[in-house]
């Protein structure tokens, strides 16, 4: 049973076909990059998983169950979703920001905050700091800690490193890949950066005008297969 399956998923916005009959299966534990130019439909396809987008046609299943089978808030607890410039609440400490993720899950164990900081390689000492005292890369890591707080095994990264400088971006990407391996996550990384995809993913899907036009390992893509 694949972790994720898209069955002839189409999404239209008026006359625009953002996603055009995509069928796709993604294995548990894989790190998949979804690459393509702006407007190719990457975000729209990704958001059908957490129901920020409802398909016009087709079905999306997670572990064999249709995503519409349970209320969206329950579904979203099981899915870590991180986008560009993820918002931290500026008037709350780092610990309080992460605790929001825990409260959503009905857990308010404070020790868990320290554990989550460890997870994303941030020093526990920053727990009492305010977001504006952190670098952009550190803030994105707090966002990832918050997204994974409820124990999500599925991680969706939508241009999550996009606002960072190249060095911070590479370092964060490598960390997230290590985290993926350590926690046995299933991860989808949406990016327009092919180099990032080749570096981090096991499988690269290329999207163009709403369709998947290539599906290969990084090694095969580099070899031009």
- Per CB under 6 A, residues contacting ligand ADP are 13, 16, 18, 36, 38-44, 159
**Cα angle value 28/30/31 (rounded, 5°):** 145
Beta carbon nearer to ligand ADP, 82 or 95: 82
Beta carbon nearer to ligand ADP, 24 or 183: 24
Beta carbon nearer to ligand ADP, 29 or 162: 162
| Least distance in angstroms from the C-beta of 223 to ligand ADP | 26
| Least distance in angstroms from the C-beta of 16 to ligand ADP | 5
Beta carbon nearer to ligand ADP, 55 or 116: 55
C-alpha 181/C-alpha 158 separation (Å) is 19
| Least distance in angstroms from the C-beta of 213 to ligand ADP | 13
C-alpha 101/C-alpha 107 separation (Å) is 9
Beta carbon nearer to ligand ADP, 80 or 210: 210
C-alpha 119/C-alpha 141 separation (Å) is 9
| Least distance in angstroms from the C-beta of 188 to ligand ADP | 12
C-alpha 76/C-alpha 165 separation (Å) is 29
**Cβ distance 62 to 32 under 8 Å?**
no
Cβ neighbours around 20 below 10 Å, total? 18
| Least distance in angstroms from the C-beta of 221 to ligand ADP | 18
Chain-centroid distance of CA 36 in Å reads 16
Chain-centroid distance of CA 43 in Å reads 10
């Amino acid at each position: 049973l694949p972790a994720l399956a898209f069955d002839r998923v189409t999404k239209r916005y008026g006359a625009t076909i953002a996603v055009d009959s995509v069928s796709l299966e993604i294995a548990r534990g894989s790190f998949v990059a979804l690459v393509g130019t702006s407007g190719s439909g990457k975000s729209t396809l990704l958001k059908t998983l957490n129901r920020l987008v409802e398909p016009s046609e087709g079905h999306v299943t997670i572990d064999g169950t249709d995503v519409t089978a349970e209320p969206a808030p329950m579904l979203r607890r099981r899915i870590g979703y991180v986008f560009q410039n993820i918002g931290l609440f500026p008037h709350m400490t780092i610990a309080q920001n992460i605790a929001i993720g825990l409260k959503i899950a009905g857990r308010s164990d404070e020790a868990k905050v320290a554990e989550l900081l460890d997870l994303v390689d941030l020093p526990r000492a920053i727990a009492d700091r305010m977001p504006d005292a952190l670098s952009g890369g550190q803030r994105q890591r707090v966002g990832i800690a918050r997204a994974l707080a409820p124990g999500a095994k599925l991680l969706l990264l939508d241009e999550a490193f996009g606002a960072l400088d190249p060095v911070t971006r590479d370092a964060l990407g490598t960390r997230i890949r290590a985290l993926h391996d350590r926690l046995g996550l299933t991860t989808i990384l949406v990016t327009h950066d092919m180099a990032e995809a080749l570096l981090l993913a096991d499988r690269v899907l290329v999207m163009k005008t709403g369709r998947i036009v290539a599906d290969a390992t990084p090694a095969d893509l580099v070899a031009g297969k």
